[in-house]
Amino acid sequence: MGRTNQSTELSALSCPYFVPTCFGVYFLLRAGLISLVPIDQHSDSLWYHDRAVALASGQGYSQDGVFTAFWPVGWPGFLGLLYWVFGRSAFVGQITNLMLAAVTFLLALRLGSAIFADRIVGRLTVLILTFYPNQIGYVPSLTSEVFYTALLLLAVFVIARDQRLTRLILCGILFGVATLTKAQTLLVPAALFAGWWLLGRQRERFISHVRKAAVAYLAMAVVILPWTVRNYIVFGQFVLISTNGGATLLTGNNPSAQGDYTQDDPLVRRVPFGVVRQVEADRLATSLALSWIRDNPGAFAILIPEKVWRLWAPDGESEWAYQSGFKHYDEHVVLFRFVRGLNQLYYACLMVLFALSALPFLRQRNTLSPYAGTGYILAAYFTGISVVFSGQSRFHFPLMPYISMCAAWMIAQWMRRSARAVALPSRVSA
């Protein structure tokens, strides 16, 4: 009976109505959340909203009338353009997130099908994302995660399908915008091209991969350098992208650090953070963090597994936006806590499938496209970044479509194996 169900499920996934039905449910769940659970923006999302309002009002990228580069400009810059066109309302940003989530659905569908050469993988991927509570919960909040997730998918989608010069340039432009959204993206193309080369069947073409990466980085430079020039004009000092790198490094590496963001340590409080002298504060924070790491290598090493745990173990942090911004949260706290627990179970199952998929992927790597390894490459890269800075669960949010693709590939293999096991006795009986 179980094997018959597996065959039926394969047929359901192949149905021509599957994708539009799945997309309808996916879209309505997110739109319904915006409509039925209205939230006020707080913390990071409010900061982005305020910077976007300043940009739309002609005040530039500023805070309290002072030009800033504390957080990267990509998301508030994009949001500010939309505010300028459609009005300076957080609802405009929420609808933007809804559209970006729809783009994520379409890209995950196409990319999952393309890199694993199996349309069932793409369909299973979007089915997983459709009902994933944390992916749903982020849409009403104006943080940068939904925008960045779509950018990361689009950049890989462009280059995985074709590596002509025009696509390499477009890929570089997209990675440039992604880097202006999250500065840690700067080395993502290098990690991807290196990983794809290692997984490829023609490693002698290393120089070809280097050339392609160089083209992508030249296109990235065209996007990033104007912002760097702006920062030099504003601050009189070299600031490549943002001035929060030192704060991020110090809050993850100090005597009180426990793997995630720790801002109450006396070492952190020594830095006079503020918009007026943000470059000096950034330099001081970086210096203090590096000095602490150099003087306490053992403590830094002990923090590594804690950072990895904080990055990958918990999930469901989208609840924070409702704790702070939904005025009826306390009335429905049991429901929110239940959904958070359900999400953690859902996430844990995904991560187990992702981990289980690694071994068969390595066994079959010679028959698979090297781009099928993108999820593993990105997971390793962002883990390395967190080992240096800090581990926070929101950092893995943009990787979840890729995690879902690998999990979907594992499920598809099991389903096909079961379907073949059912078919074989039938042939024997005939």
| Number of CB atoms found within 10 A of residue 258's CB | 14
**Sign of the alpha-carbon dihedral angle for 242, 172, 156, 103:** positive
Tell me how many domains the chain contains. Answer: 1
Q: Is 264 exposed, middle or buried (0-12, 13-18, 19+ CB in 10 A)?
A: exposed
Longest dimension (CA), the chain: 82
**Cα 185 to Cα 81: distance, rounded to the nearest angstrom:** 22
Which tokens belong to 276?
Answer: 């007026």
pLDDT on residue 174: 98
361-413 pLDDT per residue, tens: 999 988 999 999 999 999 999 999 999 999 999 999 999 999 999 999 999 99
Residue 7 has pLDDT above 70, yes or no: no
| Confidence band for 428, pLDDT divided at 50, 70 and 90 | very low
Residue 295 has pLDDT above 70, yes or no: yes
Evaluate whether 293 touches 249 at the Cβ level (below 8 Å).
no
Task: Tally the residues of the chain.
Answer: 430
In the Cβ-directed half-sphere of 4, how many Cα atoms lie within 13 Å? 2
Q: Token pair 């305020």 is at which residue?
A: 50
pTM of the model: 0.94
Decide: helix, strand or coil at residue 213. Answer: helix
Helices (H), 326-394: 333-363, 374-388
Which tokens belong to 187?
Answer: 């080395």
Q: The domain containing residue 139 runs over which residues?
A: 2-429
Overall average pLDDT of the 108-137 stretch: 97
Residue 8 has pLDDT above 80, yes or no: no
